[in-house]
Amino acid sequence: MALRRIVLIGAGNVATHLGLAFLNKGLIIEQVYSRTALSANSLAAKLHAVPVIRSEEIMPGADLYIISVSDDAITEIVKKINFGESPVVHTSGTVPMDIFKQSAPAYGVFYPLQTFSKDREIDFSTVPVLIEASDPQLERMLADLGNLISARVQVCDSEKRKIIHLAAVFACNFSNFMYTLSEEILSSQQLSFDLLRPLILETAGKVMRQNPRDAQTGPAIRNDRSVMETHLQLLAGDPEKHEIYKILSKPISKLVNKENHGG
């Protein structure tokens, strides 16, 4: 049985981008549920779906229910929905699949490994989609669904997915925070963040082929103590950045580097 009719529970960035991607591939989003009327209405309008703000109004008999709300809210919303004979998945990196065990006959996970923003389009074809299912039939269904929008669908169990999500926090959330700290350093001297944008893009671009360990540059890996001392002095008035600078430079200086680098 081909999957055609989807109910989306949640109206955040992941729900929005998934919904649009599915719509583009000819699937039907029947309903969009959100506790907030504004969110439900706005996403439902984009997806030609019916907005729903009361969980009792979620329709029975969809081909698939996709729950895309914050991790903490999943358990609560699951209790309120009668899935009947239909399968249900969530889109979380961390929540185990078993959270659905008591609630649905077939259940799984459909986790797109990407950072989604309100106003940025995503090329879904390159986004890894990690799937997991309680039975082989649903696994096939989720693989087919994933293959509609992405060329990188993989089966991945809950334990591995948790590890990947942790790694993603370092690669995405923490690297973005490094950008934030650099922006703060610049703006404290009335300097524009624009100065660093080409550098940031190239730093990410380098590891598209290279291993990041081999791409490491800077004073710490060169063990350039005079530069590091200068930097720590510049940060003397900012204990938070001072500590972060020290704590990150130490392990970097222990790496062995293959690049012969001047910056």
Q: How far apart are CA 38 and CA 53, in angstroms?
A: 9
Q: Which is nearer to a copy of itself, 85 or 202 (CB)?
A: 202
Of 2, 236, 247, 256, the residue at the interface with a copy of itself (CB under 8 A) is 247
Q: How far apart are CA 4 and CA 20, in angstroms?
A: 14
Q: How far apart are CA 259 and CA 249, in angstroms?
A: 17
Query: Cβ(27)–Cβ(66) under 8 Å?
Result: no
List 112's β-bridge partners, or say none: 129
Q: Which is nearer to a copy of itself, 134 or 216 (CB)?
A: 216
Q: Which is nearer to a copy of itself, 37 or 174 (CB)?
A: 174
Environment class of 257 (CB within 10 Å of its CB; exposed 0-12, middle 13-18, buried 19+): middle
Query: Using CB under 8 A, which residues numbered 6 to 65 contact a copy of itself?
Result: 10, 12-15
Q: Which is nearer to a copy of itself, 101 or 261 (CB)?
A: 261
The stretch among 41-49, 99-107, 108-116, 138-146 that binds a copy of itself (CB under 8 A) is 108-116
Query: Using CB under 8 A, which residues numbered 82 to 101 contact a copy of itself?
Result: 91, 93-94
* DSSP β-ladder status, 153-155 and 107-112: unpaired
Query: Cβ(107)–Cβ(100) under 8 Å?
Result: yes
Treating both helix axes as pointing N-terminal to C-terminal, what angle do 37-47 and 13-24 enclose, rounded to 10 degrees? 20
Tokens of 206: 């380098």
Q: Which is nearer to a copy of itself, 86 or 249 (CB)?
A: 249
Of 117, 135, 140, 147, the residue at the interface with a copy of itself (CB under 8 A) is 117
The minimum distance between CB 129 and a copy of itself, in angstroms, equals 11
Query: Using CB under 8 A, which residues numbered 168 to 227 contact a copy of itself?
Result: 168-183, 185-186, 189, 191, 193, 195-208, 210-213, 215-222, 224, 226-227
Query: Using CB under 8 A, which residues numbered 125 to 154 contact a copy of itself?
Result: 126-128
Of 37, 38, 45, 255, the residue at the interface with a copy of itself (CB under 8 A) is 255
Which of 49, 56, 57, 55 is CA-nearest to residue 27?
A: 49
